[in-house]
Structure 1
Amino acid sequence: MTKPWLNPFPLPGWPRTPMRPLCPWKNAGHRDFYVQVDDADFQFDDFTQQMGDLSALLSEGRLVLVTGESGCGKTALAHRCADWVVQEVDRRREDRELGPNARGLVLDLTGCLPDGPAQSIEHRAAHVCDELFGRLVDNEALRPQAVEQLSPDRDTPRRIYPRLGAALAEDLVLVVLLPTPGELAAEVIQYARAFAGPKVLFVAESDMLDPDEVADIVLQLEAWVPPLALHVGALREGDARRFVEDRLQRHSKVGGYPRMSDEAIDFLTGWARSVAQLQRTLHGTYESRRGRGLSCGEGDVVTVDDIVAFFNNGSRNELGKQR
Structure 2
Amino acid sequence: MTASLPLVNPFAAPGIARGKARLLAPRADSTHDDLYVDVCGSGSAYRAFQDDFDLGTVIEHGRMVLVVGDTGCGKTALLNRCLHHMDTILGGHFDKVVHLDFVDLIPWAYDPATELKIPERIELVARELFEQLDQEDALHTGSTALLEKALDRSYHFAFHRLNQCLVNGVAVVVHLPTPGEFVDEITAYAYSIRRPRIVYIAETSSLQTIDYDHLRDKAPSDKAPLVMVKLRLINTEEVHRFLEVRRAAAHGTGIFPTLADDCLPILRKCRTIRQLEAICFKAYQTRLDKNDRYTTDDVITQVDVIAAQAAVLTPTTARAEP
Q: What is the TM-score when the length of structure 1 is the normalising length?
A: 0.86
Q: Distance in 2 between matches of 1:122 and 1:314?
A: 38
Q: Deviations over 1:98-146 (max 9, x none)?
A: xxx5332221111111455311111111111111112212222222243
- Asked if 1:118 corresponds to 2:115, the answer is yes
Structure 2 residues without counterparts, runs of 5 or longer = 317-322
Q: How does 1:13-162 map to 2 (within 5 A)?
A: 13-16=15-18, 18-52=20-54, 54-91=55-92, 93=93, 102-114=95-107, 117-153=114-150, 156-162=154-160
1:317 to 1:241, Cα distance in 2 relative to 1, 3 A: farther
Aligned residues with identical type, % of pairs: 27
Question: How many residue pairs were aligned?
Answer: 308
Letter of the structure 1 residue corresponding to residue 298 of structure 2: D
Q: Distance in 1 between matches of 2:29 and 2:6?
A: 25
Letter of the structure 2 residue corresponding to residue 304 of structure 1: Q
Hey, what does 1:98 align to over in structure 2? none
SS at match of 2:52: helix
**Are 2:160 and 2:193, in contact at CA under 8 Å, matched by a contact in 1?**
yes
- Asked if 1:216 corresponds to 2:214, the answer is yes
**Are 1:133 and 1:154, in contact at CA under 8 Å, matched by a contact in 2?**
no
1:308 to 1:73, Cα distance in 2 relative to 1, 3 A: same
SS at match of 1:249: helix
Q: CA deviation at 1:233?
A: 0.6
Hey, what does 2:178 align to over in structure 1? 180
Q: CA deviation at 1:42?
A: 0.8
The farther-off stretch of 224-233 and 174-183 is 224-233
Structure 1 residues without counterparts, runs of 5 or longer = 94-100, 319-323
Q: Distance in 1 between matches of 2:116 and 2:18?
A: 34
Q: Deviations over 1:230-272 (max 9, x none)?
A: 210111343222222232233444532102133323431x211
SS at match of 1:175: strand
Q: CA deviation at 1:167?
A: 2.1
Q: What is the TM-score when the length of structure 2 is the normalising length?
A: 0.86
1:45 to 1:315, Cα distance in 2 relative to 1, 3 A: closer
The farther-off stretch of 157-166 and 35-44 is 157-166
Hey, what does 2:197 align to over in structure 1? 199
Q: CA deviation at 1:194?
A: 1.6
1:314 to 1:81, Cα distance in 2 relative to 1, 3 A: closer
